[in-house]
Amino acid sequence: MDDFVNSKAMIAPGVAGSATTMITATLVTTFGFPGAVTALAVSFVFGLMVLADKTLTIFNKLLFYVINSMIIFSVAVGLNQSGMAIIERDKPVSTVERSLEPADEKQLDSTASKSTPFFQEWF
pLDDT of residue 73: 95
Domain boundaries, the chain: 11-81
For residue range 4-25, list pLDDT tens digits in order. Answer: 556 566 667 788 899 999 999 9
For residue range 65-87, list pLDDT tens digits in order. Answer: 999 899 999 999 999 999 999 88
Rounded to whole angstroms, how far apart are CA atoms 39 and 28? Answer: 10
Do the Cβ atoms of 68 and 45 come closer than 8 Å? no
Rounded to whole angstroms, how far apart are CA atoms 38 and 24? Answer: 6
pLDDT of residue 120: 86
- At residue 96 the predicted structure's pLDDT band, cuts being 50, 70 and 90, is low
pLDDT at 101 over 80: no
pLDDT at 99 over 70: no
